[in-house]
Amino acid sequence: MDQSTESKVADLVASLRESDTAVVLTGAGVSTASGIPAFRGEDGLWSEFDPKAFHRRRLDADPAGFWADRLELRERLTGGSIEPNAAHEAIATLEAEGHVDAVVTQNVDGLHREAGTENLIELHGTNEQVACDDCGRRTAAEPVFGRAAEGERPPRCECGGVLRPDVVLFGESLPGEAIERANWLAHRADWFLVAGSSLTVAPAAGLPGRAARSGATVGIVNLESTEKDDAAAVVVRADVTTILPAIERRV
């Protein structure tokens, strides 16, 4: 870690120590460090898969076809050994030690929970569950995807309703409760750290600005520049798996 980065980490640690309410927002850069492909970008999954195949209208009109494509997508997302990385673990430790109050994530992979984070807002839902479109019942995803792989397409709930991944599909709005909680936390925070997000997708992209306007010290840790860098007091161009553990060790 060069001297400039060391200085920025020290600034983030000092402001975290003085904070009363600290929030972390995570994006795809935290997941890709665990080997999960990004959705956007030149080599993202949306260059390999047609996003229209995962639209809400597709699920309604062709649930069998939707599930066939979703199985293929899930294989790309979960192939190999996918585990929490050093960034997930550092964030969970910061929360467990009382330094971080909540985590807001754009990711749907469930790795924050696996690492031990408890106060977690999953803006886009989670791949770890499926939900029934009729009765709303939620259950573990793995057995249901197994049924779909064996030919039950679409898999159905005990009530007869079609099961669907418990994530926000194209054509759907984000859960109102999750957005409200995230906005409330951004307004309350006096330390707000963005980790591994390009901040191009609303409403997450607006959270750092909301936090800054409310007086929070905003930090952004991302390999590439973001459109919201001007809202940050500290911008670190480095790997989240290096910076987050450094913050956790020094706080």
128 is in an annotated binding site: no
Residue ranges and CATH numbers for the domains of the chain are 1-36+83-124+174-251 (3.40.50.1220), 38-81+129-167 (3.30.1600.10)
CB-count burial class (<10 Å; 0-12, 13-18, 19+) for 81: exposed
Q: Above 90 in pLDDT, residue 187?
A: yes
- The per-residue pLDDT for range 128-153, each reduced to its tens digit, is 999 999 999 999 999 999 999 999 99
| Other Cβ atoms within 10 Å of 211 Cβ, number | 28
**Strand-strand pairing, 163-167 and 125-132:** antiparallel
- The residues carrying an active-site annotation are 124
The reported pLDDT for the residue numbered 27 is 94
Q: Is residue 216 annotated as involved in ligand binding?
A: no
Q: Which of 182, 205, 251 minimizes the C-alpha distance to 18? A: 251
Report the mean per-residue pLDDT for the chain: 93
Q: Give the burial class of 180: count Cβ atoms within 10 A of its Cβ; 0-12 exposed, 13-18 middle, 19 or more buried.
A: exposed
| Annotated binding-site residue? 159 | yes
60 annotated binding-site participant = no
**Phi, psi (5° rounding) for residue 220?**
-125, 125
The 10s digit of each residue's pLDDT in 33-75 is 898 877 776 667 777 788 899 999 999 999 999 999 999 888 8
pLDDT, residue 41, reads: 67
CA 29 – CA 166 distance, rounded (Å): 22
**Contact in structure between 204 and 28 (CB atoms under 8 Å):** no
Beta bridge partners of 220: 194, 235
